[in-house]
Amino acid sequence: MPPISLASGVVPEFGPVATIEAAVAGGFDMVGLWVDPATWSAQDSREARAALAAGGLPLLDVEVVWIKPDSLIDDHRRILDVGADLAAANVLCVSSVPDHARTADHLVQLCRHAEGSGLRIALEFGIFTEVKDLATALSILDAVAHPLRAVLIDPIHVDRSGTTIADIARIDPALLPYAQFCDAPALRPDPADFDAVIDDAINLREQCGEGALPLAALYRALPANIPLAIELRSQALRDAFPHPALRARAVAEATRRWLEAYA
């Protein structure tokens, strides 16, 4: 069974230490953290490092480097520096810049900054961004042409973007250090309705096996035993499990039940 990680989006209302403690209490193998460069402090790093050590959990990723027309590269380097300090394996990136050459240049700078840190720079695609599908993401990564570049797939974005399982199977495994995982309803939002797209992505995700996505086929198209960040943003889960540890446990148990049946 692959290692599973508690993505920060499962417990978005809680800080880094509470996220780590929820991952430990929930029985996850790894954890991911949200890093806001405007508010993250040296104390946050100290406390997160201590919580990771106490829980014995590796940090799978930090997020999010959001490349926007007015982004400052120093803010994004700051996120990388926090990730490196906490021994994260990956940094999640998305782009809202229509010019793909600018996105590629930004990613090149981040890859160079990450050299020697142990970090991979993972570009996520989705219809809520300007990197709307896998083909676009891979084209940008071809332009980046740096060994630390990576692509991050998320089942809901795979489905909503029209990316196929065959497309996923053709990805160079070297570009897939990890993947996200979740289920989702069959009903797709109108791509032109941004609010509906965002609501779908942050409120309507479902536990593995409870939705309509072809998860088993997608999982088998991934490299064997790839770490899975369980990115289960769900209003229903937030309402049902206000305590972060109980929510994390519900997600971990449902994910492992699905993996035992289908992996």
Structure tokens at 258: 């699905």
How far is CA 220 from each of CA 6, 28, 223, 237, rounded to the nearest angstrom? 21, 21, 8, 27
Contacts of residue 31, Cβ cutoff 8 Å, sequence gap at least 6: 5, 6, 19, 20, 23, 52, 55, 57, 58, 59, 60
pTM over 0.95: yes
- Percent of the chain past pLDDT 70, that is, above it, reads 100
Average pLDDT, the chain: 97
Q: What is the pLDDT of residues 117-126, one digit of tens each?
A: 999 999 999 9
Structural domains counted in the chain: 1
pLDDT band at 90 (very low <50, low <70, confident <90, very high): very high
Q: Which amino acid is at 28?
A: F
How far is CA 46 from each of CA 35, 40, 210, rounded to the nearest angstrom? 14, 11, 38
Range of the domain at 224: 4-262
Question: H or E segment at 130?
Answer: none
pLDDT (mean) for 7-29: 98
What's 226's domain CATH number?
Answer: 3.20.20.150
Q: What is the pLDDT of residues 47-80, one digit of tens each?
A: 999 999 999 999 999 999 999 999 999 999 999 9
pLDDT band at 263 (very low <50, low <70, confident <90, very high): confident
Q: What is the pLDDT of residues 186-197, one digit of tens each?
A: 999 999 999 999
